Amino acid sequence: MTSNPTRLGPIKLGIVGVGKIVRDQHLPALAKDANYQLAAAASRHGKVDDIPNYPTIEAMLEAEPGLEAVSLCMPPQFRYDAARTALEARKHVFLEKPPGATVSEVEDLKALAVKNGVSLFASWHSRYAPAVEAARAFLASARISSAAINWKEDVRRWHPNQEWIWAPGGFGVFDPGINALSIATHILPPMFITSAVLDFPENRASPVAAHVSFRTSNGLPVTMELDWLQTGPQSWDILAETDKGKMVLSGGGAKLAVDGKIVHDEPEAEYPMLYKRFAEIVRAGVSDVDLAPLQHVADAFMLGKRNVVEAFFD
């Protein structure tokens, strides 16, 4: 692609959708990254201190023509229109996960980025967890016989009062589950869903739990259990039985153990790594958009049997 020229100094960035994930992860990462100058924000409700704030991305882009890139952090149902607006304005675009509400939306954005000569980044943050690459290297050196994904957490802790996650296109339990899939598609052989059961609360439009079976391209079984009502300790684990021992990638990719022995454990730095990668692709004039995790979610909804369970929220 032909890159939209970006000067060698800090990339002037605008952030859109100032909510919990922006305050918890994006702002701290940007504050420590010399590759960026956070120059503006746009959000219906939230604001970022000490920079101009606007109610919409359109207002931000009109008032801040010097912006070179935008980071889009609103819910996925609303991301396509914002991304299209930014790409047509020839801005590089960072997409929070999941990159869109549908696969076809993101495919269209990929083509639009090429047309306008700018970079598009699907930011699978869990793929940048500290032990993921070590797990990938271990599995590449071993013969896998089976694998299991167990991703269980408490929605009331991680998404308090966030109704968008239960609306159509909000993903439900696949909002955290796609993090697991972003790791699994990076460290395991190519895999395909063979069956799924999705538990829908009777008063919600998105699932609260999912039970999914895969097979890999070479016929190995992989299971995935997603649960959004787990109390107490939270579980974000990928396990694999291999000829070199039982691998457990735990803590959402933070720790790697083989036969119970920790072999990799480093501090988490997912969002700093994401922004480092975004700067790399902007400077290189390329895009980085892997749709495999989102495709698996789409396949689960397509093949999944809907199981209605008792309502748990009023």
Question: Which residues does residue 125 pair with via DSSP β-bridges, in sequence order?
Answer: none
Contact 28, 271 (CB under 8 A): yes
Q: How far apart are the first and last CA of the chain?
A: 50
What Rg, from alpha-carbon coordinates, does the chain have? 20
Q: Shortest CA distance to 6 belongs to which of 288, 275, 287, 284?
A: 284
Structure tokens at 182: 């972003």
Whether 115 sits among the annotated catalytic residues: the reply is no
Q: Shortest CA distance to 14 belongs to which of 106, 88, 86?
A: 86
Nearest 5°: phi and psi at 141?
Answer: -95, 0
Question: Which residues does residue 195 pair with via DSSP β-bridges, in sequence order?
Answer: 213
Q: Give me the DSSP letters along 62-129.
A: HH-TT--EEEE-S-GGGHHHHHHHHHHTT-EEEEPSSS-SSHHHHHHHHHHHHHHT--EEE--GGGGS
| Cα torsion angle, 237, 184, 128, 44, sign | negative
Q: How far apart are CA 120 and CA 152, in angstroms?
A: 30
Q: Is the peptide bond before 293 cis (omega within 30 degrees of 0)?
A: no
Catalytic site residue from 97, 246, 255, 261: 97
Active site residues: 97
